[in-house]
Every structure is written in structure tokens, then in C-alpha cells.
Structure 1
């Protein structure tokens, strides 16, 4: 029997690299990095500045419930694949300037320039939509990418989304039409109770959502387990949906992978 190559899910404490070799953090995993004292941060963020923001967040009630993320993967056509990311951010956090591309406090890459630079890493990836909508309750940043190959989508998720996707072969050997394994979060094996409590407060009432549109009806799904039982998921034909409390996701002590077969 041919031995399966090691999956990101087999190495919960292992960082992942983009094609250029730099460590990346995805839409779920970078939240943990952003609010952790000891984690390495993507895009050269200053740990001292993050500590300052962390302390500020701990004393300002306005910053509570500050971040949530939704992601959608369109896998229906192997030569026209889609990745949509939606970040919902508390206006008080947005106004701190940590999302501005030229700010010395910049910590998270969500500007139009960041998005376009990410697309340029791959020859067949393009940005089809970028918008920022602000209301009294939140700032919504929405980004849509299209990729012309499964290889580019794998890398794109590794750069803009999380650890690289892994497409599962079918019984006939097709490397695309068997299924997909999607790493959702990576982080330290342990987090002290004070950090967990603070993250739970920061992400109170926020929900992370994942939607996958498969090329065929989904026959099997495997989801990460969360100790607080906050995970909900459903399958309707070729569409899979998952929702989990943000604080559960960012404090998950190992790599959490979603696996779908069709």
C-alpha cells in the first residue's frame, strides 16, 4: 500500500510556507497569532505593538466582539476555482490603524494592495472583487479570488487562507474529483487560561463560517471536534456549511481540518 504523504493535519505544531517560503497564517489561524503573546506573526508584525493592542483590547469594552470571518470555496470547476473571504471587524479596532498598508502599527494584511500582491504570487489567480463597507456595528471587508488551477488554489489558501489545501484522489486516481482536506486553524499546542479567557471575551458572540461548493454531491464529511460543542454543520447536495464560535476556533489547541469526499 502506498504511504500517504504527511498532511498538515498530522503536524499540529508545524508552520506552513507559501511558495516563497515564508510562514503564513490564514483567515482563522492568523487571529490566534494576532492575539497571542508568543506566536510568530505573519507579514513582519511587531510583537511589541501587538502586545500594546492586546492590552488596549483588554481594557476597552468597545473592542469586544472585534473579529469574525467567513470563507467560501467554489470547487465546481477545476479550471475556474473561487475563494471568497469576508472579515467582519469592530469599528473601534479598525480605527486603530492596524489594517492600513502604510501604518507602522500594521499587523494584518487586508488592504487592496495586500490582496493584489497576493494574487500576483500565482500566474492564474485574479482578484474579482474587493470592497469595504462600514456601518455603526462593523467594518466588512470582502475579497474574492478566482484561480485557474487546483495548484494555484492550494497555494492561495496557504497564502491568503491558511495551510495549503490538499485535494484527495478518487478511486480512479483523479487528483481533484475525490475530495478535499481543508486546514482551518494552526497554533500552539497549549494556551494559558488567561489568554483563553481574554480571547473568549474578545470574540464573544462572533461566529466563523465556512461554505464549500463541491463539483458533485458530498458523500462524506469529517469535521474538527471542539470541546465546547459550538460546531454546527450541514450538507445539502454539493454544498457543505460549517459554523463555529470564533473563540473556539482561535483557541483550538491543534490543527483543525475539515475533510469532504464526493
Structure 2
């Protein structure tokens, strides 16, 4: 008759793995941070050598390969981290509690312009392959656009719900159109060695284009938006039905 295993002894392996998990997470973060630093420092489009990564991270190749199954997984994880940094920056700019529609649009588009302008090599790296769990195997930038549009769509849908107007297909199309237009235009501007517009003029123009789309959709739903009124005050006004 087999002797039942002790409940206390069953999770020994799992417990050991759990104890090492924070240490392994820290190592992965060091490795990814090393890749990002080297991408920022190197020439545009250059491949970062594994030897350089291990030296920058202060780890041996064997340690790096224990943390990642190969270079593809490391590159995917790096793109995921870059995408998270990008969206964290944008989430702060999209704070609807601070400012009018115009201010929020200017701040958000300005954040996109500044990130792409300051991190051209990271932006280019996103276009060279997918991120972790990326349904678009072509490049991470396409999925990032979709992710940003989804975050913006949830925000706009929530605001529209306050005044009783939610047309999900229209909101989805509108937000993706604004996000993709902004990213494509900023990318073109950032790659132009002699752009016709300076940074502030570019932000102002793109914010005006975004406002035109938003205003047009609002008018189609019989909503009059004041782009210069604090957004929360505007929503409070719109949420009260006219007598």
C-alpha cells in the first residue's frame, strides 16, 4: 500500500521556485534594461549583440539564456517593456480630470511627439518585430496603436455614457483614426531631416485635426462640445437634461 505524501512536503519544489521568482524577475528586468540602453545608444537600425547585452547587464550568457528561451523571446519582452513605457507616458497625459478637451488633446499629442522624438531608435525597434503575445506577428507598433486606441475608446465611451450616448462602432472607428493618424504623422515628421513645422506647430495642428474629428462625431449625435471648458464641468453640464 503506497504511503501518502505529506501535505507539507508536496510544495517543496514550488516553494523553492517561488523564492527564486523575485530574483529571476530582477535579472530579466536588468537584461531588458540593458537592451533598451544599448538600443538608445547605438546607430539606428543596428542589431544589439548578445555580448554587449551581457556585459551591460553584468551577467553571463548562460544566465541570460536561463532567463529567456532565445533572442526572439528577449526581443519580444523588450518590445513589450517599451510599449508599456510609451503607454504609461500617454496615460498620464490623458488624465480627464485635468483640463479642457483642447488641453487634453494638446497634452496627449505632445506626449506622443516628445516620446517618438526622444526615442527614435526604440520607436524603430517596435517596427522590427512583435512583442510578447502580440497577435500581429509583423511588428509591435501596429498592436501598440490598437492598444492605445482601445484605451482611448474606453475613455471616450465612458465619457459618452455619462450623457447617455454610446455608439461603440463609431467610437472605435474614431479613436483608431485619431491614434493612427497621429502616430503616422509624427513618425513622418520625426524622420524628416528638415521638417516644415516645428514641434509646437505640429502638436497644435494635430490637436486641431483630432478636435475636428471629435467635434464632427459629437455633432452627429446632437452634442455641442465646448473645447475650452474644463472637461469635468462640461460633462456635468451635458449630464443635466435641458428643461
TM-score range, shorter chain: under 0.3
TM-score with structure 1 setting the length: 0.25
TM-score with structure 2 setting the length: 0.27
Higher relative CO (Cα under 8 Å, sequence separation at least 6) belongs to 1
Name whichever structure is richer in strand by fraction. Answer: 1
Name whichever structure is richer in helix by fraction. Answer: 2
**Which structure would you say has the larger Rg?**
2
